[in-house]
């Protein structure tokens, strides 16, 4: 089977869409399939092309057996809402054109949250007469309206109508949370076409390790009790609340807040921390993906933080699963929803009210004073991580893609001499060994 996958982000970018796509794609290749990813030059989140890359009309590379086609997009540093929209619109056109190049895909997949990526995927699938799978990572445009980047009105209503059009035209929708599935069903989308494949953790890359003393010294936290936030510093994360909590903990000399990442809010956070004179807060720009395990080793508590808005009760931040995988107790500050349910059901951490600096500061004090409880949460997170293995989740999504491909154009598949066997997961369910392969 040949999977054509459109995504606006891909490694060496390290955000959640890039990581999920690559970790799934390389496993699909390992299972015997062909995967072509169409993306742009890596530039997220600073809007600057990564060293070693150029924003060319077309560039080809291979990563872990995955064929990657990079196309030219509109890129500029420190872009705001208009700049991001132009970037996404440019990928709609260049991604569509790039997607015409790979030979004979069996299924076209496009991933949000970049809405226009999904538009490009739908157009490609229609032109190439292939099934279209919409991977739903964010309820866009609702999410940008929630953080104030887009106000209600005619534009928002038009975007929402087109959003529903894409869901209806998709052969299948792969949602990353049950809440997304429920939202679509409430808005009239056929429940039978919606499949939930959550985010997860790559146990091959992330596992518990001893605290990296050299990195701790480099980043300024030393041997202090460290509350770590690793990830995008964006409008959705309300990290100014973390600075307010840190200010309330000035009297705790052995507590440090470590924030590592980039994003639209980072410069403001650095300036505000300096203005408040917060010596217990250490803000550092994003680091290479290879440093992620070392960074997690510094976190006595993993902070997962979201803005206090109803929409964010529907999301499950990917850093929650990463924290489980490395055995870092979770401190979740988010509206009550799926993420909080997972934390409470697994026992991997503590939940506090979002955007409440007093509650956050109190939870940090409690965590610092109760090492035995943290040990219990650490063990619970490691046990729960097995449920959210990328290996299993990639296999679940692969089974769906195989099923869609198998029932599409069977005559053409016979003419091409293409044999598709059930995925290993479905084979095990049927009580027989199996896998998937292409034969000449």
* pLDDT tens digit sequence for 71-115: 999 887 655 666 667 777 899 999 999 999 999 999 999 998 778
Residue 41, SS3 per DSSP: coil
DSSP 359: H
- pLDDT tens digit string along 7-66? 999 999 988 889 999 999 999 999 999 999 999 999 887 888 999 999 999 999 999 999
Range from 64-73, 265-274, 425-434 carrying the lowest mean pLDDT: 425-434
Give the Å distances, CA to CA, from 294 to 213, 245, 326: 10, 25, 10
Please state the length of the chain.
440
Spatial CA neighbour of 221 closest among 255, 174, 246: 255
Please list, residue by residue across 363-390, b when 16 or more beta carbons sit within 10 angstroms of its beta carbon and e when fewer do. bbeebbeeeeebeebbebbbebbeebbb
Enumerate residues 6+ apart whose C-beta is below 8 A from 47. Answer: 75, 76, 77, 78, 79, 83, 87
Q: pLDDT digits over 134-193, tens only? A: 999 877 765 555 555 556 567 677 777 888 899 999 999 999 999 899 999 999 999 999
Of the two residues 383 and 431, the one the predictor is more confident about is 383
Task: Measure the CA–CA gap between 32 and 138, rounded to whole angstroms.
Answer: 30
Q: 158 exposed, middle or buried (CB, 10 Å; 0-12, 13-18, 19+)? A: exposed
- Residue 113: cis peptide before it, omega within 30 degrees of 0: yes
**Peptide bond between residue 45 and the one before it cis (omega within 30 degrees of 0):** yes
pLDDT over 60 (residue 210): yes
List domains and CATH numbers for the chain.
2-200+390-429 (3.40.50.2000), 213-387 (3.40.50.2000)
C-alpha span between 366 and 385 (Å, rounded): 24
What is the pLDDT at residue 206?
Answer: 84
For residue 86, the model assigns a pLDDT of 78
Structure tokens at 122: 């739908």
Q: Rounded to an integer, what distance in angstroms lies between the CA atom of residue 146 and that of residue 151?
A: 9
Distance CA 373, CA 363 (A): 12
pTM for this predicted structure: 0.80
366 touches 225 (CB < 8 A): no
Quick one: what percent of the chain has pLDDT higher than 90?
66
Work out the average pLDDT over 278-298.
Answer: 93
User: pLDDT tens for residues 338-394?
Assistant: 899 999 999 999 999 999 999 999 999 999 999 999 999 999 999 999 889 899 999
- Please state, rounded to an integer, the average pLDDT across all residues of the chain: 87
């Amino acid at each position: 089977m040949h999977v054509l996958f459109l995504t606006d982000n891909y490694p060496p970018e390290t955000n959640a869409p890039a990581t999920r796509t690559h970790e799934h794609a390389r496993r699909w290749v390992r299972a015997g399939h062909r995967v072509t990813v169409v993306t742009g030059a890596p530039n997220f989140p600073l809007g600057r092309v990564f060293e070693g890359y150029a924003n060319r009309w077309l560039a080809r590379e291979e990563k872990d057996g995955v064929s990657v086609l990079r196309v030219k997009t509109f890129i500029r540093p420190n872009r705001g809402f208009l700049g991001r929209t132009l970037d996404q619109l440019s990928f709609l056109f260049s991604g569509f054109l790039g997607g015409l190049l790979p030979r004979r895909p069996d299924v076209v997949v496009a991933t949000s949250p970049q809405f226009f990526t999904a538009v490009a995927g739908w157009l490609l699938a229609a032109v190439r007469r292939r099934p279209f799978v919409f991977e739903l990572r964010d309820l866009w445009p609702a999410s940008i309206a929630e953080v104030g980047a887009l106000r209600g009105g005619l534009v928002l209503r038009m975007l929402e109508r087109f959003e529903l059009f894409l869901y209806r035209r998709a052969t299948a929708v792969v949602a990353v949370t049950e809440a997304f599935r429920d939202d679509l069903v409430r808005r009239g989308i056929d429940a039978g076409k919606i499949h939930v494949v959550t985010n997860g953790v790559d146990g091959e890359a992330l596992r518990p390790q001893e605290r990296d003393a050299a990195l701790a010294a480099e980043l300024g936290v030393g041997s202090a009790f460290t509350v770590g936030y690793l990830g995008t510093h964006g409008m959705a994360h309300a990290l100014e609340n973390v600075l307010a909590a840190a200010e309330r903990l000035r009297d705790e000399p052995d507590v440090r807040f470590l924030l590592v990442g980039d994003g639209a809010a980072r410069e403001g956070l650095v300036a505000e921390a300096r203005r408040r004179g917060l010596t217990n807060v250490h803000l550092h720009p994003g680091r290479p993906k290879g440093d992620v395990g070392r960074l997690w080793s510094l976190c006595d508590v993993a902070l997962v933080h979201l803005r206090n808005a109803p929409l964010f009760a529907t999301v499950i931040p990917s850093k929650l699963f990463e924290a489980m995988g490395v055995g870092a107790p979770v401190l979740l500050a988010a509206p009550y929803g799926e993420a909080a349910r997972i934390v409470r059901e697994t026992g991997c951490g503590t939940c506090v009210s979002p955007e409440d600096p007093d509650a956050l500061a109190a939870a940090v004090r409690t965590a610092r004073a109760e090492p035995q409880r943290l040990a219990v949460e650490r063990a619970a997170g490691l046990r729960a991580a097995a449920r959210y293995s990328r290996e299993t989740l990639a296999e679940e999504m692969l089974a769906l893609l195989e099923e869609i491909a198998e029932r599409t154009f069977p005559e053409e598949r016979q003419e091409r001499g293409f044999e598709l066997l059930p995925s290993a997961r479905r084979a095990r369910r049927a009580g027989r060994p199996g896998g998937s392969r292409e034969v000449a």
